[in-house]
Structure 1
Amino acid sequence: MISRVILPLITLIALLTACSESAANNITPAASEGLYSIDDFAEQTITFQQAPERIAALSNGDMDIIYALGGSLVGRPTTSFDLVIEEAEEVEQIGSTHEIDLEKLTYVQPDVVLGHTQMNAKDVPTIQGLGAQIVLTDAQSVDDIKEQVLLFGQMLQKEDEAAQIVETITHKVSEIQSVTHNESVNVLLVYGAPGTYMAALPNSLSGDLLDIAGANNIASDFDRLEAYPQYAQINTERVVEANPDYILIMSHGNSDEVKDGFLKEMEQNAAWSEINAVKNNHIELLPSDLFGTNPGTRVTEALDLLVTLFESASDDS
């Protein structure tokens, strides 16, 4: 009688043990610990145990995307213009992609720092030495901005929100490109700092925006600079020959100072006075938060501004 009871119990225990071992074998270490990974623009694989909460951004575009996804920052880029994101007003400023304030970055104790692929690659060991991870991206086109949104969405585990933002940007681009442009506007797009001026090429973010807006970039066949392949040296003779309808100036720094300096250089060469843009006073200073830097999700605003500008030019003609 006892053996009849014991044998089934032994069999049941053996089956339960086998099932338990089988289930354990099917759980990978990553799944059991909640690990997940992302691959940034520099082909780094960064692994997280959970969505990072202490994030520091070195550029305005990265900051904009994080807040658009519903995240927040403990460190933000140092800027000279008013912030659109009110929640970021009181966040510690930690420098920029050009120059990181390591003392302040250390103070905010980030889990993750968002940097630029080219400019901050050298800073990877330093950031990692602070106990933080660094995610590198850059944006030379609207498509790059959409990839940034998707990447940060993965990082924050907010893939649905990221997909919605990308859909909005894609819709805006399609909406603009669906409009027939009867006559393309010729534009010289100038990027400047005091004393230094370059023509933006189509492979730059601003050049891509110009193309989407339906304008003709007169510098499209200019020779690119070796140090800055998205830009070219301004050749006055070729600019005069192309006769742009608009000269658009953008800057990462003091925009008014940059524009004044560029106008003074133009005044020193009488040939500029023969250009339509000069004759019609079509020399425009673009907002630095939309064009002097990656605007993030506000790229739709940058596109709207250009479209409105060129529509008014068509109305005037």
Structure 2
Amino acid sequence: VGKVPTFAKDAAEVDFIFNINVEKIVELKPDLVIAYKGMHERYLHTLESNNIPVVVLNLKSYEDVKHSMLTIGKIMRKDDKAQKVVANLDKDIDATVSKLPKSERSVAILHTTSMGITMEKETSIAGCCAKMLKLRNVVQGETKPVSGPMGAQPDKAPYSLEDLLEKNPQVIFITSMGAPRDAEGNPKLEIMNNEAWQSIDAVKNKQVFFLPDDLFLLNPGLEYPKAVRYMAAKMYPDAVKE
């Protein structure tokens, strides 16, 4: 459950972010609705037909977050404050990246659900963080479509163990949604019991890391520097602290 800011504690509730009560929003007659691309498009016609202005923000990559912050700054007529926030985000991320060794490493990012496994491209949250850390994503160039519960997932690529073995990444990160978990809360992946899995460089060198949901499944927003720092600290614990 997310934390509700003090100023919003008495605000009306309109259900969950992924399944809002659009009739309730229309009833409230807001001056502006800020919607999330990839989640709220189905509500736009109803809102606009009721003369409710809507701004749709894309919140996936770090660049998306910065653009959204500047957009909200313009809406609220606080451009200077928004620009300072963005500058501080850049400064925080640069401080992490500057501590890393000057060597390129290959990375695979697995996304697991109760339905199976896919690979994340650099356009996903984890993929974006890995790119900022100068990691080379092994699925770059994949164009095959991947579908999920909410439709097409352009930031995902198909997974196969054979392909992973061929590309032999030096680092593996794992995000998980709805997959069975072990006693420590990590996803339980059957592939980890496969003898072939043990031959991957990342596995042999203990460079397989599970990523927390709050930073890598949901967009971290202004916590993007924390997500980058978390990923860096897993690979280089002597250089970067979480």
User: TM class, shorter-chain normalised?
Assistant: 0.7 to 0.9
> Which of 167, 183, 189 is the aligned partner of 2:87?
167
Residue 126 (str. 1) matches residue 51 (str. 2): no
> Which of 300, 306, 309 is the aligned partner of 2:225?
300
Cα 1:196/1:102, change in 2 over 3 Å: farther
For residue 2 of structure 2, what is the aligned residue in structure 1? 83
Query: SS of 1:198's equivalent?
Result: strand
Give structure 2 stretches of 5+ with no counterpart: 147-151
Alignment-mate amino acid for residue 212 of structure 1: M
Post-superposition offset of 1:152: 0.8
Q: Work out whether residues 94 and 102 of structure 1, in 8 Å CA contact, stay in contact via their aligned partners in 2.
A: no
For residue 149 of structure 2, what is the aligned residue in structure 1? none
Q: Work out whether residues 245 and 277 of structure 1, in 8 Å CA contact, stay in contact via their aligned partners in 2.
A: yes
Alignment-mate amino acid for residue 181 of structure 1: P
Give structure 1 stretches of 5+ with no counterpart: 1-81
Alignment-mate amino acid for residue 150 of structure 1: L
Alignment-mate amino acid for residue 83 of structure 1: G
How big is the alpha-carbon RMSD for the aligned residues of Structure 1 and Structure 2?
3.1
Query: SS of 1:260's equivalent?
Result: coil
CA deviation map 1:36-65 (0-9, x unaligned): xxxxxxxxxxxxxxxxxxxxxxxxxxxxxx
CA deviation map 1:280-312 (0-9, x unaligned): 554322121211021111111111111211212
CA distance in 2, matches of 1:192, 1:172: 30
CA distance in 1, matches of 2:176, 2:58: 18
Alignment-mate amino acid for residue 16 of structure 2: G
Residue 260 (str. 1) matches residue 187 (str. 2): yes
- Max radius of gyration: which structure? 1
Post-superposition offset of 1:313: 8.2
CA distance in 2, matches of 1:286, 1:208: 14
Post-superposition offset of 1:206: 2.4
> Which of 246, 249, 254 is the aligned partner of 2:171?
246
> Which of 133, 146, 150 is the aligned partner of 2:70?
150
CA distance in 1, matches of 2:163, 2:84: 43
Post-superposition offset of 1:272: 1.2
Q: How does 1:11-22 map to 2 (within 5 A)?
A: none
Number of residue-to-residue matches in the alignment: 231
Given the two structures, how large is their TM-score scaled by the length of structure 2? 0.79
Q: How does 1:49-88 map to 2 (within 5 A)?
A: 82-83=1-2, 87=6
> Which of 274, 280, 288 is the aligned partner of 2:199?
274
Q: Work out whether residues 209 and 234 of structure 2, in 8 Å CA contact, stay in contact via their aligned partners in 1.
A: no
CA distance in 2, matches of 1:145, 1:154: 14
Q: Work out whether residues 14 and 20 of structure 2, in 8 Å CA contact, stay in contact via their aligned partners in 1.
A: no
Query: SS of 1:216's equivalent?
Result: strand
For residue 7 of structure 1, what is the aligned residue in structure 2? none
Between the aligned residues of both structures, percent identity stands at 24
Q: Work out whether residues 94 and 104 of structure 1, in 8 Å CA contact, stay in contact via their aligned partners in 2.
A: no
Query: SS of 1:199's equivalent?
Result: strand
Q: Work out whether residues 36 and 57 of structure 2, in 8 Å CA contact, stay in contact via their aligned partners in 1.
A: yes
Q: Work out whether residues 116 and 136 of structure 1, in 8 Å CA contact, stay in contact via their aligned partners in 2.
A: yes
